[in-house]
Structure 1
């Protein structure tokens, strides 16, 4: 890319650059509630998982 002067004028003056860098805030500050109700991630776990089977007992030793 070759730098060529544009009619001997800078692209932006210092004042124009400073004015362009100051942006108004897009949205006013919105008040947020103190506590947001979050869903319980484990609320549906009992409905999704089947009940655990009872532990199996080891077989009795053989009688000789």
Structure 2
């Protein structure tokens, strides 16, 4: 994939990313979380009988 951009090099130096990490891995993990959240919100709402689109639910998730 080539050289890391300066911002990612700094994060690797501070230990945010381990040396030798394939940068596709964090990208895929983050993408999976966001797609899963969007795609399954309605299903989870039905299963747990909770309105996950409600302002209170969104505020609680942001504060977690």
Q: Please classify the TM superposition score into its range, dividing by the shorter chain length.
A: under 0.3
Q: Normalised by the size of structure 1, how large is the TM-score? A: 0.22
Q: Looking at both structures, which has the greater relative contact order when contacts are Cα pairs under 8 Å and sequence separation is at least 6?
A: 2
TM-score (normalizing by structure 2): 0.22
Name the structure with the higher helix share. Answer: 2
Larger Rg belongs to: 1
